[in-house]
Amino acid sequence: MPATNATSTGHEASDAGWLDIHFESSRPEYEDALRQVGIRPGWSILDAGCGGGSFLPLMAELVGRAGSIAALDLAPENIARTEALAARLDPKPRLAATVGSVLDLPFADASFDLVWSANVMQYLTHDQFRQATREALRVLKPGGLLAVKDFDSTILQILPMDRGVFSRFMAARLQTFRDRGVLGTDCGSMLPGLLRAEGAEIAWRRGWLVERWAPAGEHTRAYVRDLLSYFATVAPGYDLPAADQATWREVAARPEGLLDQPDFCYREFFVVTVCCKPTA
């Protein structure tokens, strides 16, 4: 797996193997967020940008045998992973997995009770976000819900890493998103306003802190190791002091130096925004 964990479509941090270890490290909070949406038995759900299908098992449990799930992703290999995962579930969910784009959903108007889209908006430009929102609202039934989850990486910490090194890296990283015109990994807290600007009615929004102190469990260790390696891979492309670049190389070469610290702590923050499609 390349250190940027990119898919065949070029989206970084989107490879299903990477998504799996991140999901396992944060599973309680991620699953709690999905549960809070209030999925009912019998619902028809679209998982827009499903990745490897990490949310699929819980979605299948919540909609039950009478419900159905459509999983859509741009990366064919992620759709293959989602199908393979579904095949292992018992009972088997009613799943239709499709390669496609959130910008042009291959579904009829008013098809779904819920459109769930987790960590996808960060990749879109503002125009694409507007298009994706229109498409999501189009395929929702009247009264249906659009639930969008994304990170606010202005609240991302890996302690006890040097604060200056980390904050300069994150500032440079967020600037790359601004330069490319994409919403970026800090968009979670902006999504309520951006959705409202598209005429969506915000039903609620809420943030979750994922916090893992030492001793870190195996999934968090695997995830943070990979995250540090990813950051060290992209850092040379950022305008950072030579001493910062050296620190990134050292940290990536020996992540245990951080992970084994008695006060190691990983913190991430994400926000779920839920909109309701008006009934009339």
Q: Shortest gap between Cβ of 73 and ligand SAM (angstroms)?
A: 5
Q: Shortest gap between Cβ of 103 and ligand SAM (angstroms)?
A: 5
Candidates 25, 26, 119, 247: give the one binding ligand SAM (CB under 6 A): 119
Encoded amino acid at 7, one letter: T
What is d(CA 228, CA 166) in angstroms, rounded to the nearest whole number?
11
Q: Shortest gap between Cβ of 187 and ligand SAM (angstroms)?
A: 12
* 59 HSE (CA, 13 A, CB side): 28
Q: What's phi and psi for 107, nearest 5 deg?
A: -135, 150
Q: Is 98 in the site for ligand SAM (CB under 6 A)?
A: no
Contact 72, 98 (CB under 8 A): yes
Q: Which two tokens stand for residue 225?
A: 């190791």
The piece of 60-68, 114-122, 197-205, 271-279 that touches ligand SAM (CB under 6 A) is 114-122
What is d(CA 80, CA 272) in angstroms, rounded to the nearest whole number?
27
Q: Is 73 in the site for ligand SAM (CB under 6 A)?
A: yes
Q: Is 183 in the site for ligand SAM (CB under 6 A)?
A: no
Encoded amino acid at 233, one letter: T
Q: Is 184 in the site for ligand SAM (CB under 6 A)?
A: no
Q: Shortest gap between Cβ of 263 and ligand SAM (angstroms)?
A: 29
Q: Which two tokens stand for residue 169?
A: 């890296």
Burial of 122 (0-12, 13-18, 19+ CB in 10 A): buried
Q: Is 118 in the site for ligand SAM (CB under 6 A)?
A: yes
Q: Is 51 in the site for ligand SAM (CB under 6 A)?
A: yes
The piece of 36-44, 95-103, 177-185, 212-220 that touches ligand SAM (CB under 6 A) is 95-103
Q: Is 101 in the site for ligand SAM (CB under 6 A)?
A: yes
The piece of 5-13, 177-185, 219-227, 245-253 that touches ligand SAM (CB under 6 A) is 5-13
Q: Which is nearer to ligand SAM, 46 or 252 (CB)?
A: 46
Candidates 5, 7, 26, 44: give the one binding ligand SAM (CB under 6 A): 7
What is d(CA 234, CA 236) in angstroms, rounded to the nearest whole number?
6
What is d(CA 277, CA 84) in angstroms, rounded to the nearest whole number?
32
Candidates 33, 34, 50, 114: give the one binding ligand SAM (CB under 6 A): 50
Encoded amino acid at 56, one letter: L
Which residue of this chain has its Cβ atom nearest to ligand SAM in the complex? 51
The distance from CA 4 to its chain's CA centroid, rounded to whole angstroms, is 15
What is d(CA 94, CA 192) in angstroms, rounded to the nearest whole number?
31
- The residues of the shown chain that bind ligand SAM, judged by CB under 6 A, are 7, 9, 11, 13-14, 19, 23, 49-51, 54, 73-75, 78, 101-103, 118-120, 123
